């Protein structure tokens, strides 16, 4: 049949408006685009402006069949080059985004739009108001959970924690009296976990708090969608995925997306990242001059903020380890202060330390000189480590990063954990252990085994590749 007569299927993508969600959503959009779909990628106005600052106007013009659109996030206007206040953003998107989103889809479906009719919506699991939009507009809607499946399962059990009287906690003493070390054995599919390994929003004395209420309810809402996509692979989170499937059979595990992308035809547009910060690629030339497995890579992701005290402990831990390091320091990483490191630090590390503000992380992790990654355990970072076969030092910040950390250290055996209350001696010791010691060797061995499995899952006959094919046929081309 001539393509002129068959209008293209048209998928509208809506990420939650922060970097860690935009990245995998953009990867998925490119993959779906490669299967002949027209794509509309919807950012908030705030993030659209950041994208223009980071990538230039040409980028957001997109292609004839890959277009960018915007909706307001409902927050007061701001031009800061930083992630917005997360609780305020969650509350605002949930209350204010449904109407403008529906309006946008109706506009796309009007005869003046000049684009094919919208045939499906793929929305972030944290933007579940789109389920309602899909129902009201009669358009199939799929949720893409951009975080880990183990994290998702943790969120689903928030209500059970309340039922069992575990939360809300009576007062703040739970933080230091050992309560968080209580083993949790009643979540099917999750082994070896303690209260402290569940998503961090359970650490509350008030269950009406935005983040506890929002994350738990968004995960539960996903179960009302027609399908859920996970950026993971069967072997990595096998038990957890089996448990989720028993509650909701329509899931598609298609990760790691960064490896699935290798099947895409090379094109200029598809090679561009969706980074909201300007990336410094000079660090790659710096890495080229280093020995294999000799560099400690440090990056706390796009949201983590730390105190000046913690920042200094990390700095001196790295300096005292005597190892070479590449340290990504976002302009907004230290709470409320600009970052000033003493002259002695630069003296001590002058030939072996590089600090920069943002970088193309997947390229950095894939660089042969990287020996270990000190990470906040966000899901994109965890998967990129697995894809690169790099072991990790975990310092989780919030949300399901605690859960990812536990899995990395116990189930996948690729990491070690830093105490929440970070101390320079501990950083120094862990860096040395992971770069030179037996634990480091074992973790590197495990990491390279997982890398092999990740590559196999995304090979043409692999489970993730096949699941992606099924997703297109079963969930996105309904009625085609």
Report the catalytic residues: 21, 124
- Please state, as a whole number, how many other Cβ atoms lie within 10 Å of the Cβ of residue 421: 9
Sheet holding 295-299, edge to edge: 353-356, 324-328, 295-299, 370-375, 392-394, 415-417
Residue 2 tokens read as 């001539």
Place of tokens 């961090």: 200
Residues 451 and 366: their CA atoms lie apart, in Å, by 11
Q: How far apart are the first and last CA of the chain?
A: 13
> Counting Cβ atoms within 10 Å, is residue 351 exposed (0-12), middle (13-18) or buried (19+)?
exposed
Q: How many CA atoms lie within 13 A of 212 on its CB side?
A: 18
Instruction: Check if the beta carbon of residue 90 is closer than 8 Å to that of residue 210.
Output: yes
User: In angstroms, rounded to a whole number, what is the distance separating the alpha carbons of residues 237 and 457?
Assistant: 13
Question: Residue 306 has what DSSP assignment?
Answer: B
> What is the DSSP code (8-state) at residue 10?
E
Residue 462 to residue 233: CA distance in whole angstroms: 10
DSSP secondary structure of 160-218: HHHHTT--S-SSGGGGTSSGGG-EE--STT--SEEGGGS-GGG--S-TTSHHHHHHHHH
Handedness of CA 165, 167, 171, 174 (dihedral sign): positive
3-state class percentages of the chain: helix first, strand second, coil last, to nearest 5 = 45, 15, 40
């Amino acid at each position: 049949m001539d393509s002129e007569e068959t209008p293209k299927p048209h998928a509208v993508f809506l990420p939650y408006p922060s970097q860690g969600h935009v990245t995998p959503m953009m990867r998925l959009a490119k993959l779906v685009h490669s299967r002949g779909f027209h794509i509309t990628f919807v950012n908030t106005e705030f993030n659209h402006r950041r994208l223009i600052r980071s990538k230039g106007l040409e980028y957001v013009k997109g292609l004839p069949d890959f277009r960018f659109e915007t909706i307001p996030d409902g927050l007061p206007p701001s031009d800061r080059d930083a992630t917005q206040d997360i609780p305020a953003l969650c509350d605002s998107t949930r209350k204010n985004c449904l109407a403008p989103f529906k309006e946008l889809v109706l506009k796309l479906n009007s005869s003046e739009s000049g684009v094919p009719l919208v045939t499906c919506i793929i929305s972030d699991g944290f933007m579940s108001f789109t389920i309602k939009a899909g129902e009201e507009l009669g358009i199939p809607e799929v949720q893409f959970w951009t975080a880990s499946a183990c994290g998702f399962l943790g969120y689903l059990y928030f209500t059970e924690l309340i039922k069992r009287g575990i939360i809300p906690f009576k007062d703040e003493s739970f933080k230091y009296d050992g309560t968080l070390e209580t083993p949790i054995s009643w979540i099917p599919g999750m082994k070896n976990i303690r209260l402290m390994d569940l998503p961090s929003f359970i650490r509350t004395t008030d269950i009406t708090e935005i983040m506890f209420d929002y994350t738990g309810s968004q995960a539960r809402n996903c179960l009302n969608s027609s399908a859920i996509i996970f950026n993971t692979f069967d072997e990595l989170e096998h038990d957890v995925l089996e448990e989720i499937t028993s509650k909701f059979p329509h899931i598609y595990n298609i990760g790691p997306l960064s490896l699935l992308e290798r099947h895409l035809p090379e094109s200029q547009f598809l090679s561009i990242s969706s980074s909201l910060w300007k990336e410094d690629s000079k660090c790659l030339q710096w890495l080229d001059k280093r020995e294999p497995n000799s560099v400690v890579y440090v990056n706390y992701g796009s949201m983590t903020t730390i105190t000046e005290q913690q920042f200094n402990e990390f700095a001196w831990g790295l300096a005292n380890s005597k190892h070479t390091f590449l340290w990504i320091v976002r302009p907004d990483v230290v709470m409320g202060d600009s970052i000033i490191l003493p002259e002695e630090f630069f003296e001590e590390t002058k030939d072996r330390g590089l600090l920069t503000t943002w970088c193309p992380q997947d390229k950095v992790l894939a660089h042969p000189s990287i020996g270990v990654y000190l990470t906040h355990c966000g899901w994109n970072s965890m998967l990129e480590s697995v894809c690169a076969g790099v072991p990790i030092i975990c310092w989780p910040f919030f949300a399901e990063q605690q859960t990812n950390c536990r899995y990395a250290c116990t189930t996948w055996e690729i990491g070690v954990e830093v105490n929440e209350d970070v101390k320079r001696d501990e950083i120094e010791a862990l860096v040395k252990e992971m770069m030179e010691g037996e634990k480091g060797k074992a973790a590197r061995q495990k990491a390279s085994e997982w890398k092999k499995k990740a590559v196999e899952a995304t090979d043409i006959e692999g489970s993730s590749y096949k699941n992606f094919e099924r997703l297109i046929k079963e969930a996105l081309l309904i009625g085609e």
